[in-house]
Chains A and B, each alone.
Chain A
Amino acid sequence: MKVATTLSGIIDYKRPGQGTSDIISAGFENAFLNFDALCSPYELENTGRPVIEQEADDDPQIKVSAQPSYMHKLLHPLLEKCGGKSINEKRINIEAAYAPYLPRETKHGDEINDLLKELTIESIKACAAFGCHYLIVRPLFAGIEPGAEFQANKEYYISLAETAKQNNVILLLENQCSNIGGHLVRGLCSDAQTSAEWIDSLNETVGEERFGFCMDTGICSICGQDMREFAIALGARIKVVILRECDGHNENSILPFTGINTSSFQNEWLNLIRGMREINFDGTLILEYAGTVSAFSPLLRPQLISLAKSVADYFKWQIEIEAALKKYKSIVLFGAGNMCRNYMKCYGEKYPPLFTCDNNKSLWGTSFCGLEVKPPEALRNLPEGCGIFICNIYYREIQKQLRGMEIENIEFFNDEYMPSFHFDRLKRNDEMGD
């Protein structure tokens, strides 16, 4: 699984040097390119309408909506920093991109759809220039009668398939909202089962796997969807997951875990993580946090991007939590409390620990969840290739203790996003021991 950052709000497409440098310094190797930065929904909405005010621009006469191939010229500065290989400098790999799209509340009819197709064709070619494998192409909706969505979109997507094939690009459908009087509700492709059927039908028509799905967690969140159910219905068709938070009813791109309200989170990541584990997701996790980026001072941006990298890595780690367990020939746990109990409930049978240990002397020699509780000293005599998993929230303190004992193979376990939970919690005051 790969992790990638958005470029939105971080990169100035005309002068991308500082932004790419910040991204590389934060440790990101992959990024997500949004072609709507070159042809915004606003620009598309105003296509064919009298221009009231000319935007200040280096080349104000040419708009991408008027001349879609002009997109490539605007991408030149970024192309020098991203994609491909360079011996002399580290470059950012573009993992996925967004084709330009209309605003949800468009007043256009279906006459705009030819332009959207043209822009998408140019976006596919631009993807090829960056070596980008996935292009997210939102379904058409302007001027399409209810009930005719699939037929209209099938024709649209199939018409893009040959260009996509020539450029080695996979086209991804994405879940959308609809707007009912200002209330965002489930829209096109937001029913996972229906989307799976669309994708299968498209792939069958072109005779290869040319289409997949991009799961936007922000839309799932606004629509109150169970992300585990959503992910399972689409399964391996999901190639890209966009991680972003909204406030539950308005669309936004907030860094995960920061969209809080009265000390409580507003996105539920548990079901996403459960779902991603169950489908063995191995695609790309894209962190979309343009809203958070725009709220921070440019002076703080490098630190913010570093935090975003940690958040992305955390998601990857949670989804692949079993990968750490598989690394070792055998394992032991550190901690004989609720986290150990949760480990044993969900993973004890598949990855049985040799024993657990705890700093609490009163537990030594007792049995907990079928495991013998030993003193930390027992960790000095482990078999070769044995991993020690800290099952206690005082991770760093215990890690320091174990490092002081010159013990290796120290790993963290975490029970925040378990496949299932006990109905009760043990009421022991001192899980840490003395």
Chain B
Amino acid sequence: MPFAVQYPAINAKLKALSSKMLREKDFQNLIELNTVQEAFDYLYNNTYYQECLEDFSGQEIHRRQLELKLKKNLVLSEDFLKKYLSSALKNFIEHYFKKFEIEDLKIILRTILMGNDENYLSNNLIYIDRNKNINFDNLIQASSYNDLQNVLKDVYYSDVLNEFADQYQENKNLFSIEMTLDFYYFSQLINLSAKLSNVDQKYVNEVIGTQIDLLNIQWIYRIKRYYNLSSGEILNYIIPFYFKVKKSELQNMSHVKNTEDLIKYLSYSPYQIILEKAIKDDNVIFERFFLNYIFKKLQKIKRNSFFSISNILAYLYIKEYELRDIITVIEGIRYSLPKDKIENFLIRREV
């Protein structure tokens, strides 16, 4: 199906779904609550999450259960999106959701390294059980890297696992595996986006390109702040796609001594501003600034075009951020954080 024909139907559906999303007031109400049970009741009685939380109604709820259920609900949108889409666009969206699978895989790898039990896994995995090529029972029973390789031998990232098998046995270090999985995910995503129409590619760059840019900046920023790696190593680990940050800028940044100097080499001013704010902020959490920046960008993109991928991307990201904020609030409530502090951790809160 040509791209333009696919969009009106899905976009109408997304418009309807977006209208049900949580509003500013909902978050204010949620923050005011005192227990996880109350938060559950609020979500159940006042929001569209009612349907997904139906199983728990009338039961005592635990934070973990609630979070797992909500997260699982997030990945469900893959099903209906795929129903509306075809060809290149479908492939792209399908791969987009693989990021949840990769997150799951990281959890499994860490579990194998640390030796948690099966139950821990089934309580924390949100996506990987949907993959038909994986035998889920065998997966959560896998107790060694080898087992894992066997269970996942038909999956597309088995190459990555095989490549690192020897190295893992030697130093039990997951760092480079995880980095490579992420790298693999993004490069695949960018490849698939090349098959989309020009307008769509523009929006993919706008959203995912920004995300990659900011991930790279964050990477260098953290290394400079907390670790000491050579510039070659830093550059080997960045995601090699460049949207508003030039390759040469990243190379220059990999050489600086102080985090403050990083700003000098960034030419794109919005990024400069985010980085500057992050450095000045006491908490030094770059991620908050960067997510908020993307969040604002999405709000703009959302209204742009009815005949492009922009709505889908905006929906996916905003929905994810909404969930992250809900979980932030629930965790804040659980650990009795002061209200204004919880407020401060929300992605939607202006920084």
Task: Decide whether A and B are members of one complex.
Answer: no
